[in-house]
Amino acid sequence: MPADGLLGPAEIRALAGSLGLRPTKSLGQNFLHDPNTVRRIVRAAGLSTTDVVVEVGPGLGSLTLGLLAAAARVIAIEVDPVLAAALPSTVEDRLPERAGQLTVLAADALAVRELPDPQPTALVANLPYNVAVPVLLHLLAELSTVHSGLVMVQAEVAERLAAPPGSKVYGVPSVKAAWYAEVRRAGPVPRTVFWPVPNVDSGLVTFRRRPVPALPAGVTRADVFAVVDAAFGQRRKTLRSALAGWAGSPARAEAVLRAAGVDPGLRGEALDVAAFTRIAAAAGEAGTDVRITS
């Protein structure tokens, strides 16, 4: 056993065997089994000893153990009831002095609206590939006390989340993540550190929350996100055309864009989150009868 109690490949397989576990693709179960990668994630997350960390998908507990050693407390959200029930015993066995600092919730992270006190200050997770972006955006929206964190996602998703305007992979996830936080790449993770080995590589992204953009009365985040969805729904079209359905007509879309100080001939990939916010605000201030699609 490593001095810090972290799990290696043999321990992961032994735990899975004791639980009769066969990793499920539908739940995105690829278990991290490399202690050095766990240590790297914890370092990159920049946690302090006062942080309360929310972890999504702790699985067999590889990352949970590393987080407990670095932070004040960990709230682990696990959708698989078998894994959720087993996690406290694993921590008690591997890191008994920190077992009392763990809270486990058997729940779907996408259904979480609140967490028990003390409230989380950081999010660190190996997110299931199939729901990574929805889970990240949902938790940033619901858990306002989370100020920073790090997530491991599919490599292509990591690129999209951290992409700047003008990038070929800049799109809906990039803009919506930027609404909440400054997002940066934090390096690749090879597929060989997981069991079973996934078909794709992973990547790390860090984020630090920033103030929500100011909006006029009556205009909401949902209004801004509706503009984003419409702009990228027809990515190759100019904003005048792409936002026609949202605004009611190309002419009305152009009027709103000009009121927002945005060139109607641009495409969505050229705009940052502030520009999308101005478009939603201009529509609201003008009383434009736009259709909210999300």
3-state secondary structure the chain: CCCCCCCCHHHHHHHHHHHCCCCCHHHCCCEECCHHHHHHHHHHHCCCCCCEEEEECCCCCHHHHHHHHHCCEEEEEECCHHHHHHHHHHHHHHCHHHHHHEEEEECCHHHCCCCCCCCCCEEEEECCHHHHHHHHHHHHHHCCCCCEEEEEEEHHHHHHHHCCCCCCCCCHHHHHHHHHEEEEEEEEECHHHEECCCCCCEEEEEEEECCCCCCCCCCCHHHHHHHHHHHHHCCCCCHHHHCHHHHCCHHHHHHHHHHCCCCCCCCHHHCCHHHHHHHHHHHHHHCCCCCCCC
Rounded to whole angstroms, how far apart are CA atoms 68 and 166? Answer: 39
Contact 276, 172 (CB under 8 A): no
Is the pLDDT at 289 greater than 70? The verdict is no
pLDDT higher than threshold 50 for residue 59: yes
CATH of domain 221-286: 1.10.8.100
Length of the chain: 294
What is the predicted pLDDT for the residue at 293?
40
Q: Identify the pLDDT of residue 174.
A: 98
* 68 or 28, which is more confident: 68
Interatomic CA distance for residues 194 and 256, integer angstroms: 49
Condensed to tens digits (0 to 9), the pLDDT of residues 198-241 reads 889 999 999 999 998 888 889 999 999 999 999 999 889 999 99
Mean pLDDT of the chain: 93
Q: What is the mean pLDDT of residues 50-57?
A: 97
* Stronger pLDDT, 232 or 294, i.e. the higher one: 232
Q: What percent of the chain has pLDDT over 70?
A: 94
Does the pLDDT value for residue 288 go beyond 60? Answer: no
pLDDT above 80 (res 124)? yes
Q: Is the pLDDT assigned to residue 143 strictly greater than 70?
A: yes
pLDDT for position 294:
36
- Give residue 21's pLDDT band: very low, low, confident or very high (50, 70, 90): confident
Which one is predicted more confidently, 273 or 213?
A: 273
Query: What pLDDT shows up at residue 22?
Result: 80
Average pLDDT over residues 267-293: 82
Overall pTM > 0.75: yes
- On the question of pLDDT at 102 being above 90, the answer is yes
Does the pLDDT value for residue 45 go beyond 90? Answer: yes
5 burial class (0-12, 13-18, 19+ CB within 10 angstroms)?
buried
Whether the predicted pLDDT of 5 surpasses 90:
no
Tell me what percent of the residues of the chain surpass a pLDDT of 90.
85
Residue 142, pLDDT > 70, answer yes
Q: Where is average pLDDT lowest: 24-38, 62-76, 191-205, 222-236?
A: 24-38
For the segment 33-58, the average pLDDT, to the nearest whole number, is: 97
The answer to whether residue 43 scores a pLDDT higher than 90 is yes
Out of 3.40.50.300, 3.40.50.150, 3.40.50.10260, 3.50.7.10, the CATH code matching 9-209 is 3.40.50.150
pLDDT of res. 28: 64
**88 has a pLDDT exceeding 80:** yes
Confidence bin at 23 (pLDDT 50/70/90): confident
Where in the chain are all domains bearing CATH 3.40.50.150?
9-209
